[in-house]
Amino acid sequence: MKQQGVTLIQTVSALAVLAVLTQLGAPVYVKLSDDLHRAAVTRDLAQTLRSARGHAMLLGEDVRVQALDDAWGNGWRVMLEQDSRVLREQRLRRPLQIAANLGTTMTFTAMGLPVNPAGNWLAATFEVCTRSAGTSQHQVVMASSGRVRVSNEIRDSRRCTGAGA
């Protein structure tokens, strides 16, 4: 009689190899997934800031951008300064640590200039921090003119080692 199929030993051996490969591949997949998530959040934040600036200039009104729940890593909200009408709100499904050199609120004037709550011109850097302490590979950099750009250089950051806003 000719044998068809696989033996129990072959099946167990294949499962053992699969288990070992899964154990080796899972950390790499988690790291890749986290890197892609941080990159996407960086692009979304940059686009939100560009959009808020554009709305401010288009409508001729001040537009406020604020962190949700007092942390940029939870998400952000864009609203008109005058009547607090929400233009956009983005809550992150997986909260991150985003460290910024400003508080949790900023405003674009009708001329498209970023200012802090006291009304002073503002330049800011938002650093999307890695899980492992102290580094940032994705940054959103906003000039005092309001121009927003994304930077992908790996940096050691003191802001990423702290609690981060």
Residue 154 counted as domain residue: yes
pLDDT at 163 over 60: no
pLDDT at position 28: 84
Q: pTM, whole model, 2 decimals?
A: 0.81
Whether residue 152 contacts residue 142, with contact meaning beta carbons closer than 8 Å, is answered with: no
Residue 1 counted as domain residue: no
Residue 4 counted as domain residue: no
pLDDT tens for residues 97-156?
998 988 899 999 999 999 998 889 989 999 998 877 677 889 999 999 999 999 988 877
pLDDT tens for residues 48-69?
999 999 999 999 999 999 999 9
**Domain with 27 in it:** 10-161
pLDDT at position 106: 95
Q: What is the DSSP letter of 121?
A: B
Instruction: Please state, in angstroms and as integers, the Cα–Cα distance from residue 81 to each residue in 60, 75, 133, 150, following that order.
Output: 11, 18, 36, 26
Residue 125 counted as domain residue: yes
Whether residue 100 contacts residue 127, with contact meaning beta carbons closer than 8 Å, is answered with: yes
Q: How many domains does the chain have?
A: 1
Residue 3 counted as domain residue: no
Q: Which residue has the tokens 């006291």?
A: 118
pLDDT at position 165: 43
Q: In this structure, what CATH number is given to the domain that contains residue 80? A: 3.55.40.10
